[in-house]
A = this chain, B = another copy of it.
Amino acid sequence: MLEARLEQANLLKKVVDAIKDLVQDCNFDCNDSGIALQAMDNSHVALVSMLLRSEAFNPFRCDRNIALGINLGSLTKVLRAAQSDDILTLKAEDAPDVVNLVFENSASDRISEYDIKLMDIDQEHLGIPETEYAATITMPAAEFQRICRDLTALSESVSIECTKEGVKFSCQGDIGSGSVQLRQHTNVDKPGENVEIDLSEPVSLTFSLKYLVNFCKASGLSDTVKLSLSSEVPLLVEYGLSNNSYLRFYLAPKIGDEE
């Protein structure tokens, strides 16, 4: 059986919020190392990969591998019932029909409990190769979100160009064009505002802003975001969570004339 207690129901809430527009139904794969999720969006352009390691829970218990096929719309409805400081416990049997969510408000003596019916979902398990990326940019998540939102006003796609000098997000649209350039900088006092670039080779790729804006819903999960790029390989947008857990999005570049 699975029993996983999360001090902050909010974490799961935010995670689900960030991916529910990309994926409707998906498996939460539970085993003794934690809870993982991998799914492609309907158009197979984007991929979500989440890992909540067992250390993120306290306690965490999962005797054998369980796949919880959950409709994220249903999960969202239930999670909306959680106060932000509630403690959430996920429970499931070994061959479950339902997953059970218990919300405890630490202060009060209020306990809410929900069961969500599970579904069978074809497990298209996607091996994601560990790629060595040509460029990796670490920057404030809020700033990345801001840039994507600003450029969305002008165009459907953004070109991300990374050189030793810095990173440049640019786009062209009907009303004009826009670009935002960031230089690498480090300030020990404000590590959350640092822009760090790790480059082995300059890259320039174009992506759909709609998806990037969508990914940015995860900004609340982490102060910083890591963008990893290589030519002709999907962009990796990673939000690191505590305990080495993460929420990752992959997005295939637009090619050639599509730019």
A112 touches B150 (CB 8 A): yes
Which residues in chain A, 47-83, are within 8 Å of chain B measured between CB atoms? Answer: 71, 74, 77-78, 80-81
A179 touches B112 (CB 8 A): yes
Nearest CB of chain B from residue A178's CB, rounded to whole Å? 4
Copies of this chain, whole number = 2
Interface flags, A22-35, vs B, CB<8A=1, else 0: 00000000000000
Q: Does A254 touch B at the CB level, under 8 Å?
A: no
Nearest CB of chain B from residue A225's CB, rounded to whole Å? 15
Cα A114 to Cα B77 with chains together (Å):
41
Which residues in chain A, 92-134, are within 8 Å of chain B measured between CB atoms? Answer: 98, 109-117
Cα A153 to Cα B139 with chains together (Å):
38
Which residues from B are CB-within-8-Å of A183?
109-110
Q: Is the interface of A mostly helix, strand, loop or mixed?
A: strand
Complex partner residue of A81 from B110, B116, B153, CB under 8 angstroms: B153
Interface flags, A172-184, vs B, CB<8A=1, else 0: 0011111111111
Q: Does A241 touch B at the CB level, under 8 Å?
A: no
Which residues from B are CB-within-8-Å of A115?
176-178
Residue in B closest to A180 when the chains form the complex, CB atoms: B112
Which residues from B are CB-within-8-Å of A150?
80-81, 112
Q: Does A185 touch B at the CB level, under 8 Å?
A: yes
Residue in B closest to A183 when the chains form the complex, CB atoms: B109
A176 touches B110 (CB 8 A): no
B116 touches A181 (CB 8 A): no
Interface centre among A71, A115, A184 (most CB of B within 10 A): A115
Cα A153 to Cα B81 with chains together (Å):
9
Nearest CB of chain B from residue A144's CB, rounded to whole Å? 12
Cα A181 to Cα B109 with chains together (Å):
8
B74 touches A110 (CB 8 A): no
Q: Does A213 touch B at the CB level, under 8 Å?
A: no
Q: Does A154 touch B at the CB level, under 8 Å?
A: yes
Q: Does A195 touch B at the CB level, under 8 Å?
A: yes
Complex partner residue of A78 from B77, B98, B110, B176, CB under 8 angstroms: B176
Nearest CB of chain B from residue A127's CB, rounded to whole Å? 32
Cα A98 to Cα B182 with chains together (Å):
24
9 closest Cβ contacts across the A-B interface?
A: A81-B150, A77-B153, A74-B175, A116-B176, A114-B178, A109-B183, A112-B180, A109-B185, A115-B176
